[in-house]
Amino acid sequence: MFEAVGFLAVKLGVIASDFSYAGLKDKKAITYQAMVVRKVTPERLKNIEKEVEKKRMNVFNIRSVEDSLRLGQLKGNHFDIVIRNLKNQINDSANLRERILEAIENVKNKGFVNYYGPQRFGMGRKVHTDQIGLALLKSETVKAVKLFTPEDLDDPVNRAKKYFLQTEDAKGTLSLMPEFKVRERALLESLHRFGVTEEGCIQAWFSFPHSLRIFYVHAYSSKIWNEAVSYRLATYGSRVVEGDLVCLDEDVDNEQLPSSKVHLVTEEEESANTYAIHQVVLPVLGYNIQYPKNKVGQWYQEVLSRDGLQTCKFKIPTLKLNVPGCYRKILKHPCNLSYQLMEDHGIDVKKEGSHIDEATLSLLISFDLDASCYATVCLREIMKHDF
């Protein structure tokens, strides 16, 4: 998505931060989304349609609007996913079709743990986006730049990264870095201009749009949230206990919950089973949140201390980043879930009713998720399988 924005910016004669959007899209998918770009007329955008198509992109529904978009300004996402070559898990002798039906109904009725998905952290094994975010929160901007570490692969991108870590030669690295690595090249151009110093690295971070600078900080707070929900469920299970935080407004979207709608569970409410597990929320780190007042709250404080953030204000003035935090429900349900079992060449098995080799089965599954929920996490719960 960032590559697409970078390409459009060059063609339109604007910069990446002139684009605004409601959410970040997956790299490995065919995705659609609304975007707003400032300082560009509809005619100018229509003039580059042919060039855009060469990049396997389409721009459509072009019109003038009054305002920019902001991250989080969406109700949710719709997914159509095909899972091919279906097989039972090892040592599972159940009928495959029955197992698929059972797994889908289970998630439909019980929901899934609302973890942040792997896309939130970058898919590379050595690209520790959360560690970059932690370094930024501690104002360690040089360290944050150097955490764009190479993976153990011998390709042009990783050769360029290795060269930079060994030499800090931004200009030389630029000549090695492929054109399509828009983010890395923007960073290197700034480092070449301003130097690999604290001040130079601050300037380099401003070569990224705000949405990308905050992405790294969110990666860190998301990783902590994932660990927190695992700890919460391991410690208390599905009981709602004293000191838990619950959401009092069922209609509020994921992560849009104001503090006034978050309630601290009392001892009496625990005894009376006043609340259900689907109402429990956990805080995503920031300056405007409260913590649970039980073992989970203690766990948060220990983690902040471990990571050197005991005194962190979650504001980074040098990078113009403010992190108010938010609350996130620990369980979510997919909506409008439908599915279809097919043979690989597209015959609907349920309608045909014929016996076929189960290894050739595919599953087409469609569902809606609230904003900031992950289809990969929902699928992992259905399939009981990591990606």
Active site residues: 26
Work out the angle between the directed axes of helices 210-236 and 129-137 (0-180°, nearest 10). Answer: 100
- Distance, in Å, from the CA atom of 233 to the CA atom of 244, rounded to the nearest integer, reads 12
- Give the three-class secondary structure for 167: helix
Which helix (H) or strand (E) segment is 370 a member of?
strand 361-370
Q: Are 182 and 6 in contact (CB under 8 A)?
A: yes
Determine the straight-line distance between the first and last CA of the chain, rounded to whole angstroms.
21
> What's the CA gap between 61 and 309, in Å, rounded?
45
Q: Cβ neighbours of residue 53 under 8 Å, at least 6 residues apart?
A: none
Q: Is there a contact between 68 and 38 (Cβ–Cβ < 8 Å)? A: yes
What letter does residue 13 receive in the DSSP assignment? T
Do 133 and 220 touch, CB atoms closer than 8 A? yes
Amino acid at 120: R
For the chain, helix (H) and strand (E) counts, in that order, are 15, 13
